[in-house]
Amino acid sequence: MAKLTVKDVELTGKKVLVRVDFNVPLKDGVITNDNRITAALPTINYILEQGGRAILFSHLGRVKEEADKAGKSLAPVAKALSEKLGKEVVFTGTTRGAELEAAIDALKDGEILLVENTRFEDIDGKKESKNDPELGKYWAGLGDGIFVNDAFGTAHRAHASNVGISANVDKAVAGFLLENEIAYIQEAVEAPVRPFVAILGGSKVSDKIGVIENLLSKADKVIIGGGMTYTFLKAQGIEIGDSLVEADKLDIAKELLAKADGKLILPVDSKEANAFAGYTEIKDTEGDAIDPGFLGLDIGPKSIAKFDAELTGAKTVVWNGPMGVFENPDFQAGTIGVMDSIVKQPGVKSIIGGGDSAAAAINLGYAEKFSWISTGGGASMELLEGKVLPGLASLTEK
């Protein structure tokens, strides 16, 4: 990566601004999944060990009006981070002002402070998410000219807490997590060890048109699953019953199939049900067509076998999007089958592109079996699409 990293700058005695991704799920004030906090620890620990004074910024959820602030404070995150680090994390509950500034000035080498949810600044004119110049300059002024971006999950957004701060410091560098995310995903797509197989699931073709087009030019095969399967099937005149379909994307699906030149691999059967919820009948289809009054909610056993064969011998696999409604045990078999096929390949470099795919791997007990699980769904998608991420582009060149 041709950008400076946290190891390229002197940190001792410096107030170091750090963008992390602590956008964790909360229920009744309790963190239900702390993976993103854990993922940030290597960079935070390195800064503290080097004698830096770490000042952390993160968003949590979406905040559009005053009422949205309820349950969106980073206070529970400060507590969880303190427990993981084994040291106090200063938290003032403010995003700007004298109290915050005094708390930062009081930090000593090796100490840490977490700023309140950056999106609290969105209540008055979306200052965070619209990258208000004044806010970015103010936050940058809280440090000593060094900014570490370790939030891959927001790298595809130009916000005040990443791009805005970067524009107002001497050195904007990548943290270890951001560096690894770029290395794994970008290098897998741009310089893969072949055979390179991409697997794309999820519900909508529209979400992944650019990704499919880019990967068709990079990968040896692109396997399609999930709800978007049925838009591709209908585009070929195959009956899909009551399955999810994007009628306005049928022509695009036809174009993608035509330009794929055999690289696009579709399911050959489905697990169908007579309703999405409250169904009374589930069965495997005979072929790729869905029966009238039914809808496809997972790939079927023949597709699992077909995808297994297509993945045999793969040396690089990038996977984004589950094969079915994996949250329901009745429709997990396809996603589990594909994961089993990926992880059993000898010497495979296996990368999950965040979002629902990451949730599926973690929830179903496969997290440790993959080479890399991305922390950013949207950012991963844009990287797979070949787009330039603003949060990365704003970092200092080597």
Distance CA 293, CA 320 (A): 29
Residue 22 in marked binding region: yes
Active-site residues, by number, are: 36, 204, 355, 378
Task: List, in order, residues 6 or more apart from 83 with CB less than 8 Å away.
Answer: none
Whether the per-residue pLDDT at 367 is higher than 80: the answer is yes
Q: What is the pLDDT of residue 58?
A: 98
Phi, psi of 238 (to 5 degrees): -90, 140
The confidence band for 377, taking pLDDT boundaries of 50, 70 and 90, is confident
Residue 143 in marked binding region: no
The confidence band for 226, taking pLDDT boundaries of 50, 70 and 90, is very high
Structural domains in the chain, sorted by start: 15-177 (3.40.50.1260), 192-385 (3.40.50.1260)
Residue 200 in marked binding region: no
Strand pairing category for 316-320 and 196-200: parallel
Is residue 228 within 8 A of residue 264, CB to CB? The reply is: no
Distance CA 53, CA 145 (A): 12
Helices (H), 172-243: 176-190, 209-218, 229-235
The confidence band for 95, taking pLDDT boundaries of 50, 70 and 90, is very high
Residue 59 in marked binding region: yes
Q: What is the pLDDT of residue 33?
A: 87
Q: What is the pLDDT of residue 354?
A: 77
Give the tens place of pLDDT for each residue, 299-314.
Answer: 999 999 999 999 999 9
Is residue 140 within 8 A of residue 117, CB to CB? The reply is: no
Give the tens place of pLDDT for each residue, 105-145.
Answer: 999 999 999 999 999 999 999 999 999 999 999 999 999 99
Share above pLDDT 90 across residues of the chain, in percent, rounded to a whole number: 90
Whether the per-residue pLDDT at 355 is higher than 90: the answer is no
Residue 354 in marked binding region: yes
Q: What is the pLDDT of residue 378?
A: 87
Residue 78 Cα to chain centre, angstroms: 22
Distance CA 54, CA 108 (A): 10
The confidence band for 1, taking pLDDT boundaries of 50, 70 and 90, is low
Give the tens place of pLDDT for each residue, 172-223.
Answer: 999 999 999 999 998 899 999 999 999 999 888 888 999 999 999 999 999 9
Q: Tokens 């999405």 sit at which residue?
A: 276
Q: Which residue, 306, 309, 287, 307, is CA-closest to 296?
A: 287
> Quick one: CA torsion of 372, 376, 382, 383, rounded to 10 degrees?
-30
Residue 286, judged by CB atoms within 10 A of its CB (0-12, 13-18, 19+), counts as exposed
Indicate whether this model's pTM tops 0.85: yes
Distance CA 204, CA 183 (A): 27
C-alpha gyration radius of the chain: 23
Q: What is the pLDDT of residue 204?
A: 86
Cross-strand partners of 172: 147
Average pLDDT, the chain: 95
Residue 149 in marked binding region: no
∠ CA(93), CA(98), CA(103), 5° rounding?
A: 60
Whether the per-residue pLDDT at 29 is higher than 90: the answer is no
